[in-house]
Chains A and B, each alone.
Chain A
Amino acid sequence: MSDTPLELQLCHDLRTAEGLVTLNVELRLERGSITALTGPSGVGKTTLLRSIAGLVKPQSGRIAFGQEVWFDSDKQIFKIPQQRRVGLVFQDYALFPHLNVRQNVSFALKKGEDQGRVDELLREVELTKLADRRPHQLSGGQQQRVALARALLPNPELLLLDEPLSALDRAMRLRLQDYLLEIHRRYQLTILLVTHDLGEIFRLADQVVKMDEGKIMNQGTPEQVYTSEFEPSPGPVLYGEVLSCHVENGMATVQALIDQRIHKFRLSAAEATSLVVGQPFVLRYSVDKPVFEKVR
Chain B
Amino acid sequence: MNFEPLVLTFKLASIATLILFGLALPLSYWLAYSRFRGKVLVEAIIGMPLVLPPSVLGFYLLLAFSPGYFFGAWIEEIIGLRLVFSFPGLVVASVIYSLPFMVYPLQAGLQALPVSLREASYTLGKTPWTTFFKVLLPNAKSAILTAIVLTFAHTVGEFGVVLMIGGNIPGVTRVASLAIYNEVEALNYSAANQYALVLFVITFAILLLVYSVNNRLFRVRHPA
Contact = CB atoms under 8 A, between A and B. Distances in A.
A108 B222 CA distance: 25
Interface stretch (A78-86, A218-226, A247-255): A78-86
A110 interface: yes
A81 B139 CA distance: 22
Contact of B125 (A90, A92, A136, A154): A154
A154 B124 contact: yes
B114 A92 contact: yes
Question: Contact residue range for chain B?
Answer: 20 to 34
Nearest to B120: A94
Contacts of A86: 123
Contact of A87 (B123, B135, B222, B223): B123
Interface string B118-161: 01111111110000001100110100000000000000000000
Nearest to B222: A136
Nearest to B137: A98
Given A96-B139, A97-B139, A136-B222, A88 B125 contact: no
Contacts of B139: 96-98
Interface string A129-141: 0000000110000
Given A98-B138, A150-B124, 20 more contacts: A54-B122, A55-B119, A55-B122, A80-B122, A82-B122, A88-B120, A88-B123, A90-B120, A92-B116, A94-B116, A94-B117, A94-B119, A96-B120, A96-B121, A96-B139, A97-B139, A97-B221, A98-B141, A107-B121, A110-B125
A58 B21 CA distance: 37
A53 interface: yes
A108 B119 CA distance: 13
B115 to A, nearest CB: 9
B114 A94 contact: yes
Contacts of B117: 94, 96
Counting from the closest, the 6 A-B pairs by CB-CB distance are A94-B116, A94-B120, A81-B122, A108-B124, A98-B138, A88-B123
B139 to A, nearest CB: 5
Interface of B: 114, 116-117, 119-127, 134-135, 138-139, 141, 221-223
Question: Contact residue range for chain A?
Answer: 20 to 34
Interface in A69-105: 80-82, 84, 86-88, 90, 92, 94, 96-98
| Most central of A82, A88, A90 by chain B CB within 10 Å | A82
Contacts of A94: 114, 116-117, 119-120
| Most central of B114, B123, B134, B138 by chain A CB within 10 Å | B123
A132 B135 CA distance: 18
A13 B127 CA distance: 28
A53 B124 contact: no
Contacts of A151: 123-124
Given A98-B138, A98-B139, A82 B119 contact: no
A129 to B, nearest CB: 20
Given A81-B122, A96-B139, A98-B139, A90 B127 contact: no
Given A96-B139, A98-B138, A107 B124 contact: yes
Contact of B127 (A54, A82, A137, A154): A82
A10 B121 CA distance: 25
A42 to B, nearest CB: 18
23 contacts: A55-B122, A81-B119, A81-B123, A82-B122, A82-B125, A82-B126, A86-B123, A87-B123, A88-B120, A90-B119, A90-B120, A92-B116, A94-B120, A96-B120, A97-B139, A97-B221, A107-B121, A107-B124, A110-B125, A137-B223, A151-B123, A153-B124, A154-B125
Nearest to B141: A98
Interface in A219-256: none
A108 B134 CA distance: 12
B135 A96 contact: yes
Contacts of B134: 107
